[in-house]
Amino acid sequence: MKNRKERILPCRIFRFYYDGFREMTLGKTLWAILLIKLFVIFVILRLLFFPDALAGKSEEERGEIVRSELIKHR
Amino acid sequence: MVTDLMQSVEWSRAQFALTAIYHWLFVPLTLGLSVLCALMETQYYRTGDRFWKRTAQFWMRLFAVNFAIGVATGLILEFEFGTNWSNYSNFVGDIFGAPLAIEGIMAFFLESTFFAVMFFGWEKVSRGFHLSATWLTAIGANLSALWILVANSWMQYPVGCRFNIATVRNEMTSFWDVLLSPVAINKFSHTVTSSFLLAAIFVMGVSAWYLLRGRHRRMARSSIALASAFGFIFALVAAFSGDRSGAIVARVQPMKLAAMEALYDGREAAPLTLFGILRPEEARTSDDDAFHFKVEIPKMLSLMSFRDADAYVPGINDLVEGNEARGILSTALKMERGRHAIEQLARYHTARETGDTATMQEVERLFDPDTPEGEAFLRDYFAYFGYGYLESPRDVVPNVPLLFYAFRVMVGSGGFLLLLCAVVWWLNRRERLDKQRWLLWVMILSIPLTYLASQAGWIVAEVGRQPWAIQDLLPVHVAGSYIGSTPVAVTFFLFLALFTVLLIAEIGILCRQIKIGPKESNE
């Protein structure tokens, strides 16, 4: 049963990554840095990022806003 | 409010420059080292000599450190487009979005997928499959760079697009014009090949350290042999593409070229300034008073720019004040035309608000390249749209000293590194490199020099584009979002702290791994 399961491609891919990560030495430090960095970028800095003024608006609405901005700067 | 807006734009510029500079500390080594690792593994595949396997594995370890710490630093740049540069982001429309999306979907996933096989698969997949994964990682990394550089090139030379007045977006009309524009092709080849040179110098410098310490001599000498030949070849290609770049800039961004050369008065048979010391800004008005001293090569600038030693090269004063005899429009006239184009945009905006469909259709025809009046309006007025926002004709002049010196740092360092690769390759081949301890130190000290040259190249490209975010169409101060200057300043320092910590972490881990060195042979 186990052998048959291991022949299935997704299981083999999973085992490939699982064993790879488990056997990492230097990689663990790197993954720690990577995860901390992503946490800082996506969680902490995200709180400080300015709102995207055009997010969630239709193309026409974005056009209205940007056009009035471009005219205002004359 | 205007002052706060300007301060906010200036802080946003500083923040973007900071983020880009730090990001570019990680990228070029990834681009070049991935290819060098693939070449080393190819040697292992061809010969079956396990020495090459250990060598490739060692450099892959350093590649992994650089990749892991550098990955995602570019995401912050993409966030900044939406938050700090929202007018710009909308204005560039799908032209910028398409290459970045392709980069994200294709190149990044290709790179990331095979990256795992490259690191986890040594004993789990066949040698051929592993080698393919390593090459695909290198190709993926360099393809990522292609799409980013295509987007950047469009900012320098906007082609293959059409402006939609209703959405205020530039819409792509020809993907191939955007992808294969001369600026894009040249920028890609110059950036990638100079990154290959950077990686070669990195490998040579680290190997030199081993030779100085008398450790891992075979690996060090073999790595130097490969890297110095690789570096020499790609330094030559970078020099060739740099020369092409000068010729393209002369045509599409003449002000950038004039500022790089601090050429104030246009002339035929223009000389190339090898080196010089510029006078302070207020003292510089013409070629007679621009320099304390300079060393020139006669006719070289004309030859390099237009492939004709007697060709006319316009100077800063010609481009600002105009030169009727040479068919160069004055900036004042371009400003007038740009204002007319902005007036049409304002007319359209008012017409939309009041429901005046006749005026809307009239203005839409002006922005339609398929109508005769549209073709003329786009060529004679909209082509200078960005000039309409300038306050003075002198605003089109970028920072001359920064460009002048950065250009010479890039070219001078590039020439030195080319020579270094040639000398090191020759001495290593003759087995005389180990005895030249001073040269081994030069190789180590060339690592920071190559990074400096790489950053100087980007300063030339990006500072030389100022005041434009998109050449001639959108100046930087109009491209920015209106956000308070204080929050941008605060985040500037936060990013500075984050990136500095990452850089210290990278250098620390790299030094530790270099100290540990490659696995000793036990097979």
Q: What is chain B's mean pLDDT, rounded? A: 91
In chain B, how long is the greatest CA-to-CA distance?
A: 84
- Encoding tokens for residue B489? 């300043």
Q: Which of the 8 DSSP states describes residue B158?
A: -
Residues on chain B touching A26 (C-beta within 8 angstroms):
61, 64-65, 509, 513
Name the nearest CA neighbour of B24 among B83, B62, B73.
Answer: B73
Higher local confidence (pLDDT), A44 or B343? B343
- Confidence band of A53 (pLDDT split at 50, 70, 90): low
- Classify residue B368: in a domain, yes or no: no
- Confidence band of B2 (pLDDT split at 50, 70, 90): low
Name the nearest CA neighbour of B34 among B114, B109, B101.
Answer: B114
Cα torsion angle, B162, B164, B165, B167, sign: negative
Domain range for B57 is: 2-251+403-516
Rounded-to-integer distance, Cα B172 and Cα B150, Å: 13
Average pLDDT in the B354-369 region? Answer: 91
For chain A, what is the radius of gyration of the CA atoms? 24
ipTM associated with this complex: 0.74
- Confidence band of B412 (pLDDT split at 50, 70, 90): very high
**What pLDDT, in 10s, does the model give residues B414-452?**
999 999 999 999 999 999 998 899 999 999 999 999 999
Question: What integer pLDDT is reported at residue B523 of this predicted model?
Answer: 43
- Classify residue B301: in a domain, yes or no: no
- Encoding tokens for residue A14? 């999973």
Q: Report how many domains make up chain B.
A: 1
Q: For residue A2, is pLDDT > 60?
A: no
Say which of A16, A33, A67 has its CB closest to residue B69. A33
Burial (Cβ within 10 Å: 0-12, 13-18, ≥19) of residue B199: buried
Do residues B110 and B142 touch, judged by C-beta distance below 8 A?
no
Rounded-to-integer distance, Cα B266 and Cα B181, Å: 27
Is A60's CB within 8 Å of B505's CB?
Answer: no
Residue type, A45: L
Rounded-to-integer distance, Cα B190 and Cα B241, Å: 5
Q: Report how many domains make up chain A.
A: 1
Is B168's CB within 8 Å of A51's CB?
Answer: no
Do residues B23 and B74 touch, judged by C-beta distance below 8 A?
yes
Cα end-to-end distance, chain B, whole Å = 71
Residues paired with residue B312 on neighbouring β-strands, in sequence order: B268
Question: What integer pLDDT is reported at residue B98 of this predicted model?
Answer: 77
Do residues B8 and B488 touch, judged by C-beta distance below 8 A?
yes
Q: With a CB-CB cutoff of 8 Å, which residues 400-459 of chain B face chain A? A: none
Domain range for A10 is: 2-72
In chain A, how long is the greatest CA-to-CA distance?
A: 74
Higher local confidence (pLDDT), B240 or B481? B240
- Classify residue B421: in a domain, yes or no: yes
- Encoding tokens for residue B112? 């990331």
Higher local confidence (pLDDT), B113 or B18? B18
Q: Which of the 8 DSSP states describes residue B253?
A: -
- Confidence band of B81 (pLDDT split at 50, 70, 90): confident
Question: What integer pLDDT is reported at residue A39 of this predicted model?
Answer: 79
Q: Which of the 8 DSSP states describes residue B323?
A: B
Say which of B120, B346, B490 has its CB closest to residue A71. B346
Do residues B183 and B153 touch, judged by C-beta distance below 8 A?
yes
**What pLDDT, in 10s, does the model give residues B89-103?**
888 877 877 777 887
Residues on chain B touching A16 (C-beta within 8 angstroms):
116, 120-121, 124
Average pLDDT in the B373-402 region? Answer: 95
How far is C-alpha B257 from the chain's CA centre? 16
- Classify residue B293: in a domain, yes or no: no
Is B491's CB within 8 Å of A45's CB?
Answer: yes
How far is C-alpha B462 from the chain's CA centre? 7
Residue B438 CB contacts under 8 Å (≥ 6 apart), including other chains? none
**What pLDDT, in 10s, does the model give residues B176-201?**
999 999 999 999 999 999 999 999 99
Question: What integer pLDDT is reported at residue B65 of this predicted model?
Answer: 85
Question: What integer pLDDT is reported at residue A1 of this predicted model?
Answer: 47
Q: For residue B222, is pLDDT > 80?
A: yes
Rounded-to-integer distance, Cα B383 and Cα B334, Å: 9
- Encoding tokens for residue A2? 């186990």
Q: For residue B520, is pLDDT > 90?
A: no
Of the listed ranges A8-22, B118-132, B315-329, B448-462, the one predicted with least confidence: A8-22
Average pLDDT in the A14-40 region? Answer: 76
Higher local confidence (pLDDT), B79 or B40? B40
- Chain B closest-CA separation from residue A12 CA (Å): 11
Task: Tell me the CA distances in angstroms from B460 to B149, B294, B315, B316, B490, one per residue in order.
Answer: 15, 20, 17, 16, 27
Of the listed ranges B144-148, B206-210, B367-371, B488-492, the one predicted with least confidence: B488-492
Higher local confidence (pLDDT), A45 or B194? B194
Q: Strands B312-313 and B291-297, how do they pair?
A: unpaired
Q: For residue A44, is pLDDT > 80?
A: no
Residues on chain A touching B116 (C-beta within 8 angstroms):
16-17, 20
